Amino acid sequence: MPEITTSEQLAQRALDVDVIDNAQLQSVWSELGSTTAPLAAFQQVLLRRELLTQYQLERLMKAESRSGFYYGPYKVLYCVGAGTFARVYRASHRETGKIYAVKVLRSSLSNPKGIHPKTHKSLKPYIDLFRREGEFGMKLKHPNIVEIHEVYSQGLTHYIVMDFVEGRNLREFYRARRRFDPLEAAEIMAGVMAGLTYALQQGVTHRDLKMSNVLVSSEGQAKLVDFGLAGVQGSTEAEAEGFSRRTIDYAGLERATGCKQDDERTDIFFAGTIFYQMLTAHPALPDNRDRAQAGKARYQDIKPILELVPTLPLPFTMVVNKALEFDPEKRYQTPGDMLVDLKLAIKRVKGAKEGKAGGQELHSNEGLDEQGQPRKLMIVEADVKMQDMLRELFKKNGYRVLVSSDPDRALTRFFQDPQAADIVLMTTGSNGRAALDAFNRFGQEPATRDLPAVLLLDQSHHHWAELAKAGEHRVIAKMPIKMRELREALVEATRKKVS
């Protein structure tokens, strides 16, 4: 294309690529008084009236090809981020004017039959992974996850359309702020874990957790983006590692700990590294180039957080330490477990700030055994909100809480491990008759008949009390019930078993 030297040439090119229309152009000519106005003056009016963005103007002036101004009906306004594999643009919909973020696979990777000029490898795996990122992301509708609206992958063009979040990613906030206020960092992490919890309920893990993939809105809400390798089964490890440097860390940790590729506890570890860095202004993992050969030491030799910041609130320290456990069995087992502890830690720290003695009034030792160790309480409940409420309630009171959504699966766990839990709470609200039947079987099977158990009957199931096989250490409770009364039911069952 010829170089642009006049206002008329710039106007014609802008019309050709459809970033302005003739009516808009005529209003500019009217203001300038002539189509032969100086090029600089023409540019200034276009920018001042917001008919063009600086990005669009620079692209027009560079005499580049006519592509790149639109992706489908989305008009590119400017670039908001660029990575090795894709660029992200702020764009407006041609008809509605609504603003979106459009993530576009780089042209060097977008030829499905092509070969990368530097690596000489097929580009198809990158296209497949990019497309699957969007397809998995479209399943996820949650306040702490950036919503994806459209995935386009045809020929040489591949893009994903998602909500545009007014704000910055966490890495940008970190560069500007370094250490975060502990409460602010914890609130951000609670949002991250809420998003991960929801995603896992849909069968999706993230596999690319890092600061740049956590957006923080102008209201301070954390939103996860780029579930780039979420649950990608069938992709080889080499493909995955080529897609993101972080995935090398994921693969290295999984090799070192013997975890499968999509284990949710790996996401938890890297959530812990983000929390650690926000609280200390130091990365948990050194950013060395040969991380693929670093081995176990890379993940084990993390400097204790209190050595870096001795004044950190202990509740947050405990959450970080558990998230960063090298042994996955000692780590939080689900994002929901970490979320509950985060919420409790936030409440305790806020309570301490308000002069409530660290929120100690919320706790008791009823969940501890005679040796002062937490009793293992298994909650059998399918409703996620109810799970979270009960988990938080009993963790506050000293129990180690396990959750099972399926009564039959809970019983199977005891056949496999008679020490799976010290006491069981079953609810009929979501599991219905299956919970009653399982409660009765627990009272009959040799592996579980001596186990303290509580059956919580929903209001509509009170008549089942006659069918439940109760006993000294097998207690029936009924909804509605105060939380203190439910706690007392567990204590009663345990006390009678001990006596």
Surface-to-core class of residue 200, CB atoms within 10 Å of its CB (0-12 exposed, 13-18 middle, 19+ buried): middle
The answer to whether residues 320 and 391 belong to one domain is no
List pLDDT tens digits, range 135-176. 888 888 999 999 999 999 888 889 999 999 988 899 998 988
Q: Say whether pLDDT at 273 is over 70.
A: yes
Residue 151 lies in a domain: yes
Same domain, 21 and 140: no
Domain contains 69? no
- Please tell me whether residues 383 and 370 are part of one structural domain: yes
**Quick check: 239 pLDDT over 50?**
no
Domain that holds residue 111: 76-163
Whether residue 497 is predicted with pLDDT greater than 70 in this model: the reply is no
Task: Give pLDDT, residue 245.
Answer: 52
Q: Check whether 379 has a pLDDT greater than 90.
A: yes
Residue 360 pLDDT more than 70?
no
Tell me the two tokens of residue 438: 């399982």
Q: Mind listing the pLDDT tens digit for each residue in 297-315?
A: 888 889 989 889 888 888 8
- pLDDT > 70 fraction of the chain, expressed in percent and rounded: 87
Task: For the chain, give the mean pLDDT.
Answer: 84
Q: Tell me, what's the pLDDT at 180? A: 93
CA–CA separation, 329 and 53 (whole Å): 52
The reply to whether 111 and 54 lie within a common domain is no
pLDDT at position 242: 44
DSSP string, 193-236: HHHHHHHHHTT---S---GGGEEEETTS-EEE---TTTT--S--
Domain boundary among 134, 163, 192: 163
When pLDDT is cut at 50, 70 and 90, the band that residue 114 belongs to is low
Q: What is the CA radius of gyration of the chain?
A: 28
Query: Are 463 and 398 part of one and the same domain?
Result: yes
Bridge partner residues of 377 (DSSP): 401, 423
Instruction: Please check whether residue 122 lies inside any domain of the structure.
Output: yes
Q: Is 90 helix (H, G, I), strand (E, B) or coil?
A: strand
321 & 176 share domain? yes
What CATH number corresponds to the domain at position 327? 1.10.510.10
Residue 225 pLDDT > 80, yes or no? yes
Could you tell me if 346 and 481 lie in one domain? no
Omega of the bond prior to 112 within 30 degrees of 0, cis?
A: no
Which range is least confidently modeled, 20-29, 177-186, 256-265, 320-329? 256-265
Q: With bands split at pLDDT 50, 70 and 90, how would you rate the model's confidence at 252? A: confident
348, 358 contact by CB (below 8 A): yes
What is the pLDDT, as a whole number, of residue 280? 95
Instruction: Give the torsion through C-alpha atoms of 476, 410, 258, 208, to 10 deg.
Output: -70
pLDDT at 372: 67
Under a CB-based contact definition with an 8 Å cutoff, are residues 390 and 366 in contact? no
175, 288: one domain: yes
Residue 431 lies in a domain: yes
425-434 pLDDT, tens digit per residue, is 999 988 999 9
* Helix (H) / strand (E) containing 70: strand 70-71
Residue that is last in its domain, among 353, 372, 394: 353
Answer whether residue 495 shows pLDDT above 80. no
306/298 Cα distance (integer angstroms)? 19
Residue 41 has pLDDT above 70, yes or no: yes
Q: What's the confidence (pLDDT) of residue 496?
A: 60
Among 61-65, 245-249, 367-371, 479-483, name the most confident range.
Answer: 479-483
Phi and psi at residue 260, to the nearest 5°: -75, 170
Q: According to the model, what pLDDT value does residue 117 have?
A: 53
67 falls within a domain: no
